[in-house]
Amino acid sequence: MESIHQIMRQSAEAFQVYRKVSGKEKARFLRAIAEEIEALGMALIQTTMEETNLPEARLLGERGRTIFQCKMFADLLEEGSWVEARIDTADLARTPLPKVDIRKMLVPIGTVVVFGASNFPYAYSTAGGDTASALAAGCPVVVKGHPAHARTSTMVAEAILRAAERTGMPKGVFAHVDGGNGFEVGKYLVMHPLTKAVGFTGSFIGGKALFDLANQRPEPIPVFSEMGSINPVVLMPEKMSVASEDVALKYAASITQGAGQFCTNPGLILGVDNADLSNFIKVLAKEIEQIVPVKMLNAGIYQNYESKRVVALSQENVIAEAESLIERTETIQAVSTVASVDADTFLDNPTLHQEVFGPFSLLVKCKDEAQLLTVIQHLEGQLTTTLMATEAELSTHPEIVDALRSICGRLIFDGVPTGVEVCFAMQHGGPFPACTDARFSAVGPDAIKRFVRPASFQNFPNSLLPAELQNENPLNIWRMVDNNWQK
């Protein structure tokens, strides 16, 4: 591990320089990363297709999102107000005690270790949201590339290093570690005393293991793990009475999109057992049966999907409502599946609450709306929850709305959870076990707040303050001065 130790030392040394680099200079760096990734052209796309089985169109879209994220954080840095500058000026005449001058802003925390995700080789991996937000915050980044797309990760890492050299960033501001499948490399990175935070997207087992390791350190550090979700969807009776077929068509597409390999895949559907729900199941089943099987990301993910799918279907009172009937032509093609179970069984069987990562969804049949609420109240934390309802049902069932809101980061009305907009208002996170810290988003400009901390300066000479806190406001950013927002 000596080579990784040297990487961590160089990263810590880079932090002493990089944390003082201006926002405009860091923005240039992020824009250069976007340019270098784009310059990789179709060679990058082709490499990733070979490694992940993902289609060209999907990868082109994801690469575009990755480039957009880098530019988004560059815009954030150039504007500058993200540091949340707060200034309370002195009042020496105040009685009985004088008031001191005190000023506060967000500052970077140090080296961030990022673990690449298997299901998003660009947007959640080497140059993904964790890396871009950490670099924007002023933190050097050490990426452990994901072994499922090692060549892709290396290509993107080399693009980031070229961007760093082009823009004069300190050596060590970014590093890439090819740890293979070994858990020991990840453990070493998390436990290293120079690591100050961790970003992770993946399984509950992996994310929780990193979280536990970080809390065993002499100096515990934050671990921002996004660990998956079953993203429950509630089908309200009135909505189903008028739109059961439309909703079924919409959800057949969402469940099977990208072979279900999304953290927001709708893995659980809840409804009141009646004729409209039966019609929904009938239409959904017909659509699922016609889904053409597609290859999953790799053999390991396929085997995990198959084993969990088989376990779910083998549980007492679980009925397989539909499986894809199209013949599979390759061994790691996923069989899209919808199953159902009664609510009493679901409530009594914790196995049925677990995520089946892939194109699988379990429909829970409730006796009435009271039992529907009971099921919701027994669910764990989620990235998303969805309410398929009429506007009138929103007003007449506040207890269901509140129950869903209390367990998720994003509550969706009359839509599907798949599709995550990159914007300020997006909350991509949720209560445990969806994430290790529900206060933060892994998507959007606010993701930067994971890798900073507030710091105050008391009675400092104006000329020695950071530019963001100086009286003249040389950066022309929005600041709160004596309780008033101003520039």
Q: Extract the tokens encoding 464.
A: 């020695």
Q: What are phi and psi of 176, to 5 degrees?
A: -125, 125
Which residue in 36, 51, 62, 226 is the catalytic one? 226
Burial grade of 443 (CB within 10 A; 0-12, 13-18, 19 or more): buried
What does the alpha-carbon distance between residue 129 and residue 417 come to, in Å, rounded to a whole number?
19
Q: Is the CB of residue 365 less than 8 Å from the CB of residue 393?
A: no
Question: Which token pair is 58?
Answer: 């999907």
Q: Is residue 35 annotated as a catalytic residue, yes or no? A: no
CA end-to-end span of the chain:
49
Catalytic member of 36, 70, 139, 263: 263
In DSSP terms, 111 is beta-bridged to 195
Task: Find out whether 229 and 430 touch, Cβ atoms under 8 Å.
Answer: yes
Contact between 222 and 210 (Cβ < 8 Å):
no
> Who contacts 421 (Cβ-Cβ below 8 Å, separation ≥6)?
none
Contact predicate 262/383, CB 8 Å: no
Residue 198: HSE in the Cβ half-sphere, 13 Å Cα cutoff: 34
- Give Cβ neighbours of residue 236 (< 8 Å, ≥ 6 apart): 387, 388, 389, 390, 393, 397, 400
Sign of the C-alpha dihedral, residues 414, 417, 419, 421? positive
Q: Is 226 a catalytic residue?
A: yes
- Tell me, what amino acid is at 152? T
Question: Tokens 């179970």 — which residue?
Answer: 341
Pairing of β 141-144 and β 174-177: parallel
Tell me the catalytic residues.
226, 263
